[in-house]
Structure 1
Amino acid sequence: MDPALQTMISNMPEKTGKSLEEWKKILNAKSFSKHSEAVSYLKKEHGVTHGFANTIVHLSKDEGTSSADLLSAQYKGKEHLLPVYEKIRDMVSSLGNDVTITPKKTTVSFIRKKQFALVNPASKTRLDLGLKIKDKPTTARLENSGPFGTMCTHRVRLEKPEDVDDELKSWIKEAYENAG
């Protein structure tokens, strides 16, 4: 399991008042047709912060599917791109202990109070990193959000670990800071 996710799960009882298993029981007693409805319910009815609510809902839906399983499925046939993802993940984790890393079926979200970055193994040769940085002009490298739509404001295409350079790190840090 991703270390950041494990830390979040371990901190859940202290931060939310219940363990992940207790939250899963609460959600399983309800019937939500959409992910956002379940997140909203946890936030409004139980005062759970967005990062925890989002993670609880994802983990309750993905019963039997661990973060490692989700990542393995995303990178099947694209294993050479995992070092790029890992470099991004490690850099994001170093920004603060308020970061939630949430693997999903096709992407990994990086959340502070709200999502600020998203990684998608877009093809056999590259990852797309979506960033949410309002009012930031696009450049040749920092493109418009493309396939991410409104989830992000920008996209950066990455092919190798060296692409996670100081310029990219500064954009990720800016997105992180804006999400607080």
Structure 2
Amino acid sequence: MSDTAKALATQLANIEQRSGKRLDELVALVRQSSLKKHGELRDMLQRELGLGYGDANTLVHHALQSDGGSAAAAQGLSGDEVLDGLYSGPKAVLRPIHNKLMAALASFGEFETAPKKTYVSLRRKKQFAMVGPATKTCVEVGINHKSLSPTERLQALPAGGMCQYKVRLSQPEEVDEALLGWLRQAYDSAG
């Protein structure tokens, strides 16, 4: 068992002890709630069980992702439905950019996609990129790779964030060799 898995198992055991409920009862509480948003579920657990923010947050993640499913699947959403939510309303015009990027990334090999509230995380052993609508007019691609050289287009981000660089795309044609080269380096280093 990895150190991360051990830490999660310890935290879940502590949550059981603090709440006085078995883990299966806690998972059922989350899944059977009429609440759908992660933050609402977390707040409910804090309020009803007296859990701290971190414990409630971890429990929601665990409950929605247990049995090998994703949070979206646990809520009955397909991958396309999650993307429909991200790219809805005025942001719907950005979906072709996302689709073209994902099609190009598929040529790299296997990786996991994990839809979040405002973006999609792309992972191998670790996250190598994030993709999501930044505004009504552009998609932001976050890139995790420490040894890239920033350019006007490849913007360095402050240290300590989820990604080291970002690139903003406003047209599908901007999914080009330069962007894919940066992403390929990140993909290779994450595996």
User: Given the two structures, how large is their TM-score scaled by the length of structure 2?
Assistant: 0.63
Give 2:56's aligned amino acid.
S
- Which residue number in structure 2 is paired with residue 167 of structure 1? 178
In structure 2, relative to structure 1, the CA distance for the partners of 1:34 and 1:86 (3 Å cut) is same
Query: How many residues are matched?
Result: 141
Quick check: 156-165 or 27-36, which moved more? 27-36
Is the aligned partner of 1:88 residue 2:101?
A: yes
Q: Give the gaps of 5 or more residues in structure 2.
A: 1-23, 31-54
- Pick one of 130, 137, 142 that aligns with 2:149: 137
Map Cα deviations across residues 30-69 of structure 1 (whole Å, 9 max, x no partner). Answer: 9852248956xxxxxxxxxxxx98x735346x41233222
Q: Give, in whole Å, the separation in 2 of the partners of 1:36 and 1:139.
A: 40
2:69 to 45, 51, 56: 56
Aligned positions of 1:93-112 closer than 5 A: 93-97=106-110, 99-112=111-124
Secondary structure of the structure 1 residue equivalent to 2:168: strand
Contact 1:27-1:38 at 8 Å conserved across structures: no
Bigger Cα Rg = 2
CA separation of 1:137/1:26 partners in 2, compared to 1, >3 Å: closer, same or farther?
farther
**What is the distance in 2 between the residues matched to 1:103 and 1:88?**
15
Corresponding residue SS for 2:85? helix
Contact 2:70 2:114 in 1 (8 A): no
> Any idea what SS the aligned residue of 1:113 has?
coil
Quote how far apart the aligned CAs of 1:108 are: 0.7
The TM-score with structure 1 as length reference comes to 0.67
Distance 2:26 2:105 in 1: 29
Distance of 2:161 and 2:59 partners within structure 1: 16
What residue number does 1:28 align with?
A: 27
Query: Aligned partners of 1:26, 1:110: CA distance in 2, in Å?
Result: 31
8 Å CA contact 2:72–2:82 kept in 1: the answer is: no
1:78 is matched with 91
* Contact 1:141/1:156 (8 A) holds in 2: yes
Task: Give RMSD over aligned pairs.
Answer: 3.0
Q: Distance in 2 between matches of 1:117 and 1:27?
A: 32
Distance 1:124 1:64, change over 3 A: same
| Cα offsets for 1:114-163 (capped at 9, x unmatched) | 110001201111011000011222110100136x9611000001001110
Q: CA deviation at 1:29?
A: 6.0
Any idea what the Cα deviations from partners look like across 1:67-108, whole Å, max 9, x if unmatched?
A: 2222111111222211110111111222112x0112222101
State how far apart, in whole Å, the 2-side matches of 1:120 and 1:160 are: 14
Q: Percent identity?
A: 36
Query: For 1:26 and 1:173, how far apart are their aligned partners in 2?
Result: 43
